[in-house]
Amino acid sequence: MTTTDSGTQPADGTQAPTTPMVGIVMGSSSDAPIMSAAADQLRKLGVPSEMRVLSAHRTPDDTAAYARGAAQRGIRILIAGAGGAAHLPGVIAAMTDLPVIGVPIALAHLDGLDSLLSIVQMPKGVPVATVGVNAALNAGLLASRILALSDDQIAAKLTEHRAQQADKVRSQDTQVRSAHNGA
């Protein structure tokens, strides 16, 4: 699946580039309800992405092929989510020089602590930038911030996003103050 922001298409009818810049991978389709938040956030910021189910344990050869070929296909950042013995982000980081963002997924047992520790405690020399448990939205934002260093359009959308976020909190502040302080 490739997702792009149709709102960024030029008015002259030409197609904006849709080559995925971010690869979103997950260990099982059961992770998709969480990981789709990364794709949604990227789409809102006009960042094309692709999604794959690849398992470090169950399809190790496919995972290796994907990790080794991603940079050559134009992927700039990888977001990898997995739960339990969550080795997918680390295994991918071992096979590419692209930045890898890990998303620990909470499963039925251990509340995601197992996934978090599996992803965050990487050995020296093989970094994975780990976001919070189930925090796929933040993974999408972090990937966008990295891309924005060399892309003015993404940078502008991020600035707008942060301003909208601030507006929401200010409006909450107004409501709470009015309800509790009578002001």
Residue 46 zone, left/alpha/beta (φ > 0; ψ -120 to 50; rest): left
Closer to ligand RP5 by CB, 36 or 144: give it.
Answer: 36
x/- mask, ligand RP5, residues 126-155, rule CB under 6 A, reads ------------------------------
Cα gap 102→159, rounded to integer Å: 24
Tokens, residue 122: 């990487």
Phi-psi region at 79: left, alpha or beta (left = phi > 0; alpha = psi -120 to 50): beta
Query: Is the CB of 107 or the CB of 155 nearer to ligand RP5?
Result: 107
Piece in contact with ligand RP5 (CB under 6 A), picked from 21-29, 43-51, 154-162, 165-173: 21-29
Hey, what amino acid is at 78?
L
Quote the CA–CA distance of 14 and 159 in Å, as a whole number. Answer: 26
Rounded CA-CA distance 140/142 in Å is 6
The residue within the footprint of ligand RP5, chosen from 18, 55, 59, 138 (CB under 6 A), is: 55
- Show the binding pattern over residues 76-105: x = contacts ligand RP5 (CB under 6 A), - = does not: ------xxx--------------------x
Q: Point out which residues bind ligand RP5 (CB under 6 A).
A: 26-28, 30-31, 55, 82-84, 105, 107
